């Protein structure tokens, strides 16, 4: 066995003539059973005729059977954990001679852990301010707000204008039309052209004007385009927020007064801030381990990670309503740009697996069952059906792996040496 570079190895393998002959005889017998040759009953053609008539098929079948078996046997003999598919070259396969070939392949890296307990990490849990609580309450009030129709009058900034609009010309061959769109005049999320042209218009009044959408507009169909609309104002509404008092608190949930609601919100935001700070610290801990551990990564692992990253990008594109097949994307360039991130992600995963093995961190059946029950509630399906589906498509294994990773990250965080962030 030769070590080429990093995780790459090479075998030169020889398969004895006796083994080649035995495999050839087996394959000839199989073909003989199903061969239907003129002048012979099925399965009765002589073996010599089968060897001559199906010479190339026999040769190919012998190679396809012998090569992987011989490679696996050699890898097991050397106690190597092979990853990916070996590259077979220099195949010498001639009548009356042993079979010889070379196989280049990769093995899983040997990860030797350095110190992973008591790692230093900056950790700052953002304090909850009165402004945070007020902002959350304002958000709740806005969700509970009512929109009241005003008597007919000109539209002004701050109003909610109810309009019907239709594009004068089609966009990508189809018109844009909405018979009851509500636009908040002067709001940052409302296109400025709508605010400027609707300001001062009264119900039943009609106007045509152009709206130019930015290149990064959320709706790709109109992003970067100028669309001319015919708009009719149908009405004016104002937004009424519920009064902020104890009754409001009781309407929101099981709170006796506004103070109880504020305290519940404070605890919720505290928990959110704590979770965010811990997640940030865990990312830093993994980064620190990646930076301090140097070991080779199999290309097969990197390719698999890049593929996962690209597939995630494609799902994101599809989720935005675009067909990835219609985009002119340079996938080779995308893969190249993703490589550094993929290498770090793979190293991080391997290090976390090694820590989990060292500390005997495992996923329990109860933990997996709880996840299945959660999915069952979300999808309103029996837990047994969810489990069967997850076992079939591999999701169950991914759930167990994710839980183990989370437990390992929790272990690293709990055993880290935390310090406040340095002031800017």
Who contacts 182 (Cβ-Cβ below 8 Å, separation ≥6)?
Answer: 147, 160, 161, 162, 163, 237
CATH superfamily of 256-419: Trigger factor, C-terminal domain (1.10.3120.10)
Candidates 155, 151, 160, 167; CA nearest to 205 is: 155
Who contacts 78 (Cβ-Cβ below 8 Å, separation ≥6)?
Answer: 1
CA distance 183 to 189: 9
Decide: 101 and 88 in contact? Cβ < 8 Å. Answer: yes
CATH number for the segment(s) 2-107: 3.30.70.1050
Spell out the domain ranges in the chain: 2-107, 146-240, 256-419
The total number of residues shown for the chain amounts to 424
Instruction: Give Rg (Cα) of the chain.
Output: 34
Decide: 286 and 100 in contact? Cβ < 8 Å. Answer: no
- pLDDT tens-digit profile of 128-146? 999 999 999 999 999 999 9
* pLDDT at residue number 4: 58
Lookup: tokens for 47: 């073996």
* pLDDT at residue number 289: 96
* pLDDT at residue number 265: 97
CATH of the structural domain 146-240, one choice from 3.40.50.300, 3.90.1260.10, 3.10.50.40, 3.40.50.1100: 3.10.50.40
Question: The whole model's pTM is what?
Answer: 0.76
* pLDDT at residue number 53: 81
From residue 269, alpha-carbon distances to 26, 37, 160, 185, 265 in Å are 71, 80, 31, 31, 6
**Which residues does the chain have with pLDDT short of 70?**
1-5, 320-322, 324, 326-327, 422-424
* C-alpha dihedral sign at 400, 406, 412, 414: negative
Decide: 31 and 50 in contact? Cβ < 8 Å. Answer: yes
* pLDDT at residue number 245: 94
* pLDDT at residue number 222: 87
């Amino acid at each position: 066995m030769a070590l080429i570079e990093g995780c790459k190895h090479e075998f030169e393998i020889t398969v004895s003539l006796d083994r080649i002959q035995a495999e050839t005889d087996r394959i000839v017998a199989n073909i003989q059973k199903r061969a239907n040759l003129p002048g012979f009953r099925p399965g009765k053609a002589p073996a010599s005729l089968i060897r001559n008539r199906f010479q190339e098929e026999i040769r190919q079948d012998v190679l396809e059977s012998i090569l992987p078996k011989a490679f696996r046997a050699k890898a097991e003999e050397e106690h190597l954990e092979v990853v990916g598919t070996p590259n077979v070259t220099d195949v010498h396969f001639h009548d009356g001679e042993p079979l010889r070939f070379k196989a280049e392949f990769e093995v899983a890296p040997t990860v030797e852990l350095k110190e992973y307990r008591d790692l230093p990490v900056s950790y700052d849990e953002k304090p909850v301010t009165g402004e945070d609580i007020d902002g959350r309450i304002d958000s709740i009030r806005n969700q509970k707000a009512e929109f009241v129709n005003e008597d007919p009058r000109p539209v002004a900034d701050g109003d909610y204008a109810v309009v019907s609009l239709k594009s004068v010309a089609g966009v990508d061959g189809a018109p844009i039309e909405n018979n009851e769109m509500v636009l908040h005049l002067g709001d940052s999320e409302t296109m400025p052209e709508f605010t400027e042209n609707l300001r001062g218009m009264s119900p039943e009044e009609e106007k045509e004007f152009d709206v130019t959408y930015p290149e990064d507009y959320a709706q790709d169909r109109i992003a970067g385009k100028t669309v001319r609309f015919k708009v009719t104002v149908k009405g004016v509404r104002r937004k009424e927020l519920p009064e902020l008092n104890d009754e409001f608190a009781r309407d929101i949930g099981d709170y006796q007064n506004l103070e109880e609601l504020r305290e519940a919100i404070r605890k919720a935001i505290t928990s959110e801030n704590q979770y965010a700070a811990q997640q940030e610290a865990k990312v830093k801990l993994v980064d620190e381990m990646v930076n301090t551990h140097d070991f080779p990564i199999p290309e097969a692992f990197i390719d698999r990670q890049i593929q996962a990253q690209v597939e995630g990008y494609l799902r994101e594109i599809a989720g935005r309503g675009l067909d990835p097949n219609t985009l002119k994307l340079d996938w080779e360039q995308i893969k190249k740009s993703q490589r550094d991130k993929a290498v770090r992600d793979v190293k991080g995963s391997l290090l976390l697996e090694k820590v989990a093995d060292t500390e005997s961190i495992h996923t329990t059946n109860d933990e997996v069952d709880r996840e299945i029950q959660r999915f069952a509630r979300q999808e309103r399906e029996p837990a047994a059906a969810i489990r069967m589906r997850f076992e079939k498509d591999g999701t169950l294994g991914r759930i167990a792996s994710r839980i183990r990773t989370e437990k390992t990250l929790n272990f690293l965080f709990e055993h880290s040496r935390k310090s406040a962030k340095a002031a800017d």
